[in-house]
Structure 1
C-alpha cells in the first residue's frame, strides 16, 4: 500500500518552496494507504545535482526535515521534475536509509521510487555484486537503481531515457509502479511505468488540449525482438534501431509550439484531484515519458487488442470528498455518508414507480448471463463478504447456481472455469492484486467476466467484458463502510435485472425494490442511534469477554 507522487512543470515558473510543498502535500493525500517512512527527490542547487530527503515516520516528520535543509527555497525553476514516496516495508526494515527514493550511486545519477515487489531481486543483486556494485540498503528497489546505472554505463552511445528503462524492465519480475529520474543524464525528464500496481497521470494546462487522448508508440519488430530476448543475466547493450521521439498532438498550442503545462503522477486519484480533474490511467506495461512539456506513451510491442491511444478522462470527484471535514476520522465520515452513497449507487438505475432496474454497463451481455451454467463471485476482504451476503438473493431470483470464492484460494486451487460460466469480480479499488490475477485466469478460459468497482479506469474496470460502477465516492478509511453497502446494492440490482425474464419472480422483485427505496431512511434511523450505541459499547459490551453476532439466511453475512 505504498504511495507514489510526482510533479513536473514546464514553461511555468515555480520556486523550490512551491515544488517541495506540492510533493509533501501529495504524500499527505496518500497517508491513508498506510506507510512507515517517506521521502522525496527534487533538483538541487548545482547543475545535475539531486536533492534527496528521507525520513522514518509520518509525512509531518518529512516536512519538518525538509524545512531544516540548507537550500535556497526561493530558487525558481521554469522546468522541473520531482517525485515523492511513502513506504510500507517489505524488504528491509523501516528506516530512513531504506525509505525511498533510492539512488544508483553517491552522486544520485539515477533516482527511483517504487511500489510493489521485485521477485527476482536477489538474483540481480548477486550478479551486480559480482560485477563490483556495492549496496547501501536491503531493499529490492535499490537493485533497480543500481541496475539502471549499470546498463547506462554499458552503452557505447547514449540512448533515450525510455530505451534505457525498457532495458531495465525486461530484467525485472514481479509487480511494480516506478518513477525514474536522472538530473545528470536526463534533466527535467521522468519516466513512469506500471505492471500490476496503479499509476495515474494528471494534466493541467491553462488552455484546452487539442485532443483528449495520447497516441501510444509501439516498438518496431526488430526492437521488440531485441528487448524481449531473455538471455540469462544478460544486461547487454540495447540493440538498435531506437524509437524516434515524435511530438504528441495533445500538448501543442494552436501554432504548433509547446504550451505551459504541469503533470502530476500518483498511485491514487485523491492526490491529484486538488490540482486537476484531467487524468490518464496508465495500463500494465505502459512506459510514460514526460519531457519538454509532452507526455509520450511507449510499449515494447503491439499485442492483439492493444489500443493505439490512451484517453485523457475527467475525474468525477470533488476535493471535499477526500477531506475529513468536522469528523474525527475518515471512517466516521464515510459511515455517515452512507445514506447519500447508497442513493448515488441507485440513482438513474432503479425506477421505483415501475419497479425496473437498468444497469447500462450490462445491457449487451444480459442474454449471455441468463444462459450461464453458474455465477462465480471472486473477491478479497470486505468485497468477498459483499459477495457472500448477496449470493442467496442471486440464487433465489435468477435460479442460477452461485458460489463465492476468495481470490487467493481460487488461484491456489486452480479452480475449473468454463466458457459458459459468468465470473463477477468485486473490488473497491479495482486494483486488488489477487482479484486481478483471478480475473485474467478466467479471461484465459473464455468465461464472461464482470467487474464491480468504485474506481473508473482501474485494471478490473478496463479488462472485464462489462461491469457496474458503484458510485460510492472515494473511500479513504481502511475499514470499508460505504463501499461495502454500495457493493451490496449493486449486486442486488444485478440480480434483479438478470431475473426480469422470470415472471414467477415479479412479486419478489417488487418487494426487493421497495426495500431498496426504504433503505436510505433505515440507515439514517440507525445513525441517529449513534450516542446510544456508543453508551452500549462503552458501558456494557466492552466489559464482555466475547461477542457473538448470529443470523441465518439473508442475515448471516451482513457483517464484513
Structure 2
C-alpha cells in the first residue's frame, strides 16, 4: 500500500536507480528522511521520476556503489545495502536486486514485517539452519525461497518460515543463504544463527470455498473460530491461560491496566473494559496507539500494558509497545498471528486462534478478541470471592456463545432486506451505550470501510449534546437496545428520536420489540440474549452482515479490498 504518490505505473514497485536499472528495490514501509536524501542525491546529479519515498533507496544504493568504485575499490552487495541502511530513517522492509551482482538478492528490515519462506527444507527445524549456509539443498534438490510481509501469503507454498528481525540482512547468492545482523556501532556485521518455525495453517484457510467473498466466509466462520479460541481454556468453572500464568501475580498487583490498539482492535478492548473493571477491581484505561505516542502519555513500572492487534504488526501499536517497554511496564500481547513482532516482543500474551483473515475488514478476529479479553478478566479476577457467581454465569455464557452466533447467522435474509432499504442512504448514525458503545463504533467503522458510506458511532448519552440536531425523517438511525443495565436509558433515547420523526432501526433482545418500538415507523432487529458482557459478540453480527457486507455488495464495491486500505497497517 503506497504512502507517497497516487497509484500509477511510475509510482509502482520495483523502483529503479535510473537508466540501466543498476539497482531495483521493492519496499514496504515509509522513509521519514527521504526529502533530505533526495536533496542530497539531486545535488549529485540524480533525477527523480516518481512521487514515492522509495525511489531514493535504489538511487542511494547506486550512489554508494559508484563512490566505492571511484576509489578503485570493490564492494559487496551486502556492504552496499548496509551502507544504505545506515542512511535511512523510518520503518521498512526492502528487497534489492542488481545486475552488478548476478544471482544475488538481498532483503532487510527495520520496524516492518518480513517473512522468509523456505520450501521443501529437510532436517530438524529445532536446529539452527541458517549460519553461513553453503547451499539450501537436500538430496540434490533445489529449494524455493519466498519473501512476504504476511504469513498467509506463503502458506500455499510452504509452512517452513523465518521471521526476519530488525536490522537483519538476508543475503541469497547462488542458492546459498546467509543472515547478517547490522549494528550502527560496528562496521562489520555479525553472522546470525536462526532456526525455522513451522506455520500451523492450512491452504483451505486462504480459499473462499463456497462463499462469494472472504468477508462473507469469515463472518460465517465465527462459531468455529470462537470455539477454537476457547478450546482448552475453559475448565471446571474456571479459565486457564497458559500464556499469562507466570505473570498473573504481577498483573493482579498492577496499579492500572492499559489497553492499547488501533481501529477494530481498539474497539474490541473498549467493549471489554466494563467487565474487566468489574471482575478485576483494577482501573482500566484505553489508549489509541497513535494518540498515546503523540501525547507521550505516562506509563509506569507498576502498570500492565495490553497490546491488541490482529496481525501483530500494526506500526503504531508496535511503536507504543517500544514506548511501554522503555518505561518498564509489563507488556502483554493479544494477537492472531503466532511469531508476529507483537508476539515476540511482549513479555507474555494470548493467541486468539481465530484463524487466518483475508478480508481487509476484520470480522472473526474482533469477536475472538472480545472473548479472549473476557477470559482474561475471568482469570485475573479468579481470586475474588465476591464475583464468583458472576464469573460462573459468564463462563456458562461463553460455552453456549457459538450456538447463539449460529442463530444470528441464520437470519441472513432479514439482514439483506435491511441493507436494501439503506442502499441510497448517504449517511448513518449508530447509538450505543455501556457494553455496546464499542458495538456502535465498530458497526459504523465497518460501513465506512467497505460500503464507503459516511457513518458515525456515538455514545447515546451524548445524543443531546449536538447529534440530536441531525435527526429528521430522512436520516437512518440505528439504536442498540439489548437487555443490560442501560436498557431503560436506551428506551428513553428511542422515544426522543421517535418524537423528532427519526428513521429508526432498533436492535433489541428477542421478545422486546413491543417495549422498544411502538410505532410503524420503527424497524426492529431481534437478536438472542446472552450475558450482558458477551452481548457485543452477538450484536456486531447484524451490523456487519446487513450494514456492511450486504450493503457493500448491493452498492457494487469490493468487499474484501476496500479502496485505500490494507489488511495490516505496517506504516504510520
- Could you tell me the TM-score, scaled by structure 1's length? 0.74
Corresponding position: 1:522 with 2:438 = no
For residues 435 and 262 of structure 1, the distance between their equivalents in structure 2, rounded to whole angstroms, comes to: 33
For residues 91 and 228 of structure 2, the distance between their equivalents in structure 1, rounded to whole angstroms, comes to: 34
Partner in structure 1 of residue 309 of structure 2: 427
Correspondent of 1:260 among 119, 122, 142: 142
Per the TM alignment, residue 320 of structure 1 is displaced from its structure 2 partner at its CA by 1.0
Residues 279, 526 of structure 1: alpha-carbon distance in 2 compared, 3 angstrom cutoff: same
Per the TM alignment, residue 392 of structure 1 is displaced from its structure 2 partner at its CA by 0.7
Residues 128, 550 of structure 1: alpha-carbon distance in 2 compared, 3 angstrom cutoff: closer
Match of 2:29, SS state, is strand
For residues 470 and 449 of structure 1, the distance between their equivalents in structure 2, rounded to whole angstroms, comes to: 17
Per the TM alignment, residue 551 of structure 1 is displaced from its structure 2 partner at its CA by 3.7
Corresponding position: 1:186 with 2:101 = yes
Structure with greater strand percent: 1
Partner in structure 2 of residue 326 of structure 1: 210
For residues 102 and 330 of structure 1, the distance between their equivalents in structure 2, rounded to whole angstroms, comes to: 31
Partner in structure 1 of residue 88 of structure 2: 172
For residues 172 and 314 of structure 1, the distance between their equivalents in structure 2, rounded to whole angstroms, comes to: 32
Corresponding position: 1:157 with 2:43 = no
- Superposed, which structure 2 residues align to 1:157-556 within 5 Å? 157-182=73-98, 184-205=99-120, 207-208=122-123, 212-215=127-130, 246-247=132-133, 251=136, 253=138, 260-301=142-183, 309-351=193-235, 354-539=236-421, 541-542=422-423, 547-556=428-437
For residues 474 and 544 of structure 1, the distance between their equivalents in structure 2, rounded to whole angstroms, comes to: 33
Q: How many residues align?
A: 434
Residues 163, 97 of structure 1: alpha-carbon distance in 2 compared, 3 angstrom cutoff: same
For residues 428 and 10 of structure 2, the distance between their equivalents in structure 1, rounded to whole angstroms, comes to: 44
Partner in structure 2 of residue 147 of structure 1: 60
Per the TM alignment, residue 148 of structure 1 is displaced from its structure 2 partner at its CA by 0.4
CA contact (8 A) 1:259 1:293 kept: no
Residues 130, 546 of structure 1: alpha-carbon distance in 2 compared, 3 angstrom cutoff: closer
Per the TM alignment, residue 208 of structure 1 is displaced from its structure 2 partner at its CA by 3.3
Partner in structure 1 of residue 28 of structure 2: 115
Gaps of 5+ in 2: 443-572
CA contact (8 A) 2:299 2:329 kept: yes
Residues 181, 478 of structure 1: alpha-carbon distance in 2 compared, 3 angstrom cutoff: same
| Worse-superposed segment, 481-490 or 134-143 | 134-143
Match of 2:305, SS state, is strand
For residues 102 and 428 of structure 2, the distance between their equivalents in structure 1, rounded to whole angstroms, comes to: 60
TM-align CA RMSD: 2.1
| Worse-superposed segment, 480-489 or 259-268 | 259-268
Match of 2:378, SS state, is helix
Per the TM alignment, residue 186 of structure 1 is displaced from its structure 2 partner at its CA by 1.3
CA contact (8 A) 1:201 1:263 kept: yes
CA contact (8 A) 1:148 1:168 kept: yes
- Superposed, which structure 2 residues align to 1:39-118 within 5 Å? 88=2, 90-118=3-31
Gaps of 5+ in 1: 3-87, 217-245
Partner in structure 1 of residue 486 of structure 2: none
Per the TM alignment, residue 500 of structure 1 is displaced from its structure 2 partner at its CA by 1.2
Residues 367, 210 of structure 1: alpha-carbon distance in 2 compared, 3 angstrom cutoff: closer
CA contact (8 A) 1:454 1:483 kept: yes
Per the TM alignment, residue 454 of structure 1 is displaced from its structure 2 partner at its CA by 0.6
CA contact (8 A) 1:280 1:313 kept: yes
Structure with greater helix percent: 2
CA contact (8 A) 1:251 1:294 kept: yes
CA contact (8 A) 2:93 2:109 kept: yes
Per the TM alignment, residue 163 of structure 1 is displaced from its structure 2 partner at its CA by 1.4
